[in-house]
Structure 1
Amino acid sequence: MGIFYNNAVCDIYIGKSAGTKLIQDIRNAKKNVKIVSPYLSPNLIKELIFLHNKGIEVSLITTDEIEDFYGHEKNINKLIIQEQQVDESAKQSYDSLKNLSALLLFIIISLAIALIPLIFLLEQPKLAFGFIAVVLLFLIRNYIVSELKKKKIYHYTYKQLFPFKVFVSPGQGSGSINKTFIHSKIYIIDDEIAYMGSLNFTAKGVKENYETRIRTADPNAVRKIVEEVDRLLSNSELAERDVQYWGSQLYSEPIN
């Protein structure tokens, strides 16, 4: 894993706002954009969604250290789409129990309302034993309600808005022995321009931090970089988050 290429022609920039030219080139993309960045910011995820909606092919490699995952504005949810499936047989059973619960509630209330005046008007205290039936019906209904809460009628699957990989960071568990952190920051536009350096695809990386980046349109160098990024996208041995797992972490999943 990895490449070495010598004598590439490139532009070098060191300082703040290192991403100004990068963002301009990304917005001017005609065919595709490929990004490797371990950290992402919500507003820059919006840039990728905008490109996708324009018909530009977007590919992304990131890690489970995504800033957006922990932030308030979760645009990562727009990259992972939740699809809800209904278990029809479970739903029919759920609806039947729900109707039975409503019927029992009606009977309980009606019986209680009928017993109270009968006891006093007819002066028949023995009718108070009728409340035993009310209590029993209440317990039965309470059991049915508890079963309703546990009944699972919805199942969830997830799909990606565009191709991306979320690699597992070292120390994140999940049974992985992965010790390699994808720390590279690589940006490829139309397979013709490549950026590399220290800036993450974050607001601070692009604008505020003191960063280092190179920009090259050297055909041979770009071709090598494209090959490496494509290899990471299609055939990496590194542990990665499954989209089904990742989606379940981002979304709530009501069962009924």
Structure 2
Amino acid sequence: MGTFFNGANCDIYIGKGAGKKLLDDITNAKKSVKVISPYLSPALINELIILHSKGIKISLITNDTIEDFYGNYEKNIFKLIQQHRTLDSSSNELRNKWIGFEETIRYIFFGFLAIFVFALFLFKSFKTLYLLFPLILIYLLRKMLLSKIKNKRIYNYSYSQLFLFKVYISPTNIKNDSSTFVHGKIYIIDDEIVYMGSLNFTANGTKHNYETRIRTIDKIAVDTIIKEYNELFNNSGFPERNIQDWGKQLYNEPIN
């Protein structure tokens, strides 16, 4: 993994607003957008979500700065990682049987309690207190059933991505000297246009900072960069955030 290419025809831009044409090309994409950026702005992630909703194929590589997915955009992370809940039919059937049994026990308990109170006032005998023992046993049985009903898991959860993305773990978060920080910035539009440079996929990077970027439609260069992108996405070997574990951190998972 790693690419060297010489002789590509390209446009060069240096200065503020280096991302204006990039954002225009992304907005006007017809088929696909691929992004590598270690830092992200919620507003720009939202633009990718909008493009996805229009049928544009989106692919993203970034780092595990999870807060970059947040903002005043209905928490984009909950759009990018979607929760799916499935019902375990056999567990649900067993739980329903326990609920029915508990209901019967409840009627027996309150019926027996009424009998006990009635007998206590009617006979006013110490022996009436012996009725407390079965009453206590019924109460404990019902309490046990309620606990089993409360703790019985009937739902299983899984998570999927809205569109393809990889979130690699930065060396600072795993404290591993051999790990690699994915710091490159590459933007591929419709597999025909490539941007590279210093600008991140952020509002500051694309609009306000003094940045450098090149733009090329050189087919050989574009095809070479696409190959490198696919290699990074599919065969990097870098540690990455697991979508299932991440989903479990983000979402509640009621068991029933």
TM-score range, shorter chain: 0.7 to 0.9
> What is the identity, as a one-letter code, of the residue corresponding to 2:233?
L
Q: Which residue of 1 aligns with 2:39?
A: 39
- Cα RMSD of the aligned pairs, angstroms, is 2.7
> What is the identity, as a one-letter code, of the residue corresponding to 2:95?
Y
Check conservation: 1:39, 1:67, Cα contact below 8 A.
no
For 1:21 and 1:40, locate their aligned partners in 2 and report how far apart those are by CA, in whole Å. 18
Check conservation: 1:186, 1:194, Cα contact below 8 A.
yes
Q: Which residue of 1 aligns with 2:121?
A: 120
Check conservation: 2:85, 2:156, Cα contact below 8 A.
yes
Within the alignment, does 1:143 sit opposite 2:144 as a pair? yes
- CA offset digits 1:107-158 (Å, max 9, x no partner): 3233324432442244345333323333222222222222223322222222
Deviation at 1:36, TM superposition (A): 0.8
Within the alignment, does 1:95 sit opposite 2:92 as a pair? no
Give the 5 Å matches for 1:31-110.
Answer: 31-68=31-68, 73-110=74-111
- CA offset digits 1:135-185 (Å, max 9, x no partner): 222222222222223322222222222222222222434x98851011112
> What is the identity, as a one-letter code, of the residue corresponding to 1:74?
K
Q: Which residue of 2 aligns with 1:255?
A: 255
Check conservation: 1:115, 1:127, Cα contact below 8 A.
yes
- CA offset digits 1:10-65 (Å, max 9, x no partner): 221322x4433322211100111001122333332221121112111111112222
Shift in alpha-carbon separation, 1:121–1:210, aligned structure 2, 3 A? farther
Check conservation: 2:14, 2:210, Cα contact below 8 A.
no
Check conservation: 2:160, 2:243, Cα contact below 8 A.
yes
Q: Which residue of 1 aligns with 2:191?
A: 191
Q: Which residue of 2 aligns with 1:202?
A: 202
Within the alignment, does 1:231 sit opposite 2:231 as a pair? yes
Aligned residues: 254
Q: Which residue of 1 aligns with 2:218?
A: 218
Choose 182-191 or 217-226, whichever is displaced more.
217-226
Shift in alpha-carbon separation, 1:236–1:134, aligned structure 2, 3 A? same
Check conservation: 1:80, 1:247, Cα contact below 8 A.
yes
Deviation at 1:210, TM superposition (A): 4.4
Fraction of identical pairs, as percent:
50
Which structure 1 residue ranges, 5 or more long, are not aligned?
A: none
Shift in alpha-carbon separation, 1:177–1:97, aligned structure 2, 3 A? farther
For 1:127 and 1:144, locate their aligned partners in 2 and report how far apart those are by CA, in whole Å. 27
Q: Which residue of 1 aligns with 2:242?
A: 242
Q: Which residue of 1 aligns with 2:14?
A: 13
For 1:108 and 1:211, locate their aligned partners in 2 and report how far apart those are by CA, in whole Å. 76
Compute the TM-score of the two structures, normalised by the length of structure 1: 0.85
Choose 23-32 or 204-213, whichever is displaced more.
204-213
| SS, match of residue 59 in structure 1 | strand
Compute the TM-score of the two structures, normalised by the length of structure 2: 0.85
Choose 48-57 or 2-11, whichever is displaced more.
2-11
Deviation at 1:188, TM superposition (A): 1.0
> What is the identity, as a one-letter code, of the residue corresponding to 2:50?
F
